[in-house]
Amino acid sequence: MNQPIVGYHQDEESDWVADLACGHGQHVRHQPPFFSRPWVLTESGRNQYLGTVLNCKKCEEPSVEPASSP
């Protein structure tokens, strides 16, 4: 499900995580040649991508209902 970026934070390993409107997060790493996202390295670069839509894989996962007690 597509969700816009509403902010950013860094995880425990100092990698950048995009905060999505749905409340989930998605890593936005710059690790060439695998991921080329130099914009994550500066605050102005990150700010330019606020509102950009990313596919939230967690929103697409089927929700798991807790088992009911007998």
**Using one digit for the tens of pLDDT, what is the confidence trace for 6-22?**
999 999 999 999 999 99
Residue 28 has pLDDT above 90, yes or no: yes
Higher pLDDT, 64 or 44: 44
| Mean pLDDT of the 51-65 span | 88
> Which distant-in-sequence residues (6+ apart) come within 8 Å of 63 by Cβ?
none
Q: How confident is the model at residue 34 (pLDDT cuts 50, 70, 90)?
A: confident
Count the neighbouring beta carbons within 10 Å of the beta carbon of residue 7.
Answer: 13
